[in-house]
Amino acid sequence: EVNQQARCRELAKSSSFYSTVYSEIEEVGWDHLVRAGGDLSFLIFRVLDKKGRVHVMEIQLDKAYPRVPPMVSADVPYIFNLKWSMNSRLKILVQQFEKHLEKLQGFWSTLDEIDRSLQIVDSKQASRAIPSRQIHVGNDCFIILFIDINDPRSLPECRFMGLGNTVNSLRKTWKRNVDKWERDKAFLENLECLLNTQLPRLADEETNNHLDECGICYAQYLPIGDELGPQTGSATDYTCENNSCSKAFHSMCLVDWLRSITTTRQ
């Protein structure tokens, strides 16, 4: 962070674009900056929502900024409608993102309830931007749930996959019990009521692994974008061997952090 701040400060002296971006990063706060491109046209900020979830927002800036509005991407199911004018600043952009996150709290709470309890297929690839989950229900059968982003407590769309007889039985049970779905019930309770079975749960070890977040950028997955090459969207891939730490990290974040320490040798 200190290394990035010093580099940005030097750039700020060279043009009005760099000076503007530097001052606006300061307004947002350097503690929120995860990464900055070499020419400051690419910025990544991390934002905490009210539930303490970490969200990463990627911002692309045109050299004509702020006349040209920034382009935004994030690990959300849809991007908010950016309200922008010549007087807008990055701080306003972050505030709009925070308001957008508020609207999605119920949706993510439902996803968290599923992800932390049930056996998700390809759980490492599960994303906050994807409103569906493929769940193992036993006997080599699976269901794919599609959660309504705007009404996550409502009855989800459900598709069945697996062996014919077993799947047919589950499908018939679901259709027979579909009127039993109650918005005020816990999502998992509703799900098991409709399927008339107890779903396989995550083992404790799997639960802990699923929740690992990077000790540097505080996100479970790296941002998705061309800048990160083959590591785009990858999960934490290194765990500290010191028993008093044992935190998970992205290798890329560790390398960036080490490079920022002036006493680090190649």
CA 198 → CA 136, 137, 154, 188, distances in Å?
11, 8, 20, 9
Q: Each residue of 122-133: pLDDT tens digit?
A: 776 678 899 999
Phi/psi at 48 (5° precision):
-90, 135
Helix (H, G, I), strand (E, B) or coil at 59: strand
pLDDT digits (tens, 9 = 90+) for 188-230: 999 999 999 999 987 654 544 555 778 888 777 777 655 666 6
The structural domains of the chain, ordered by start, are 1-109 (3.10.110.10), 118-195 (3.10.110.20), 208-265 (3.30.40.10)
Q: What is the pLDDT of residues 96-122, one digit of tens each?
A: 999 999 999 999 999 999 998 899 987
pTM listed for this prediction: 0.72
- Angle between helix axes 251-260 and 2-12 (nearest 10 degrees) is 60
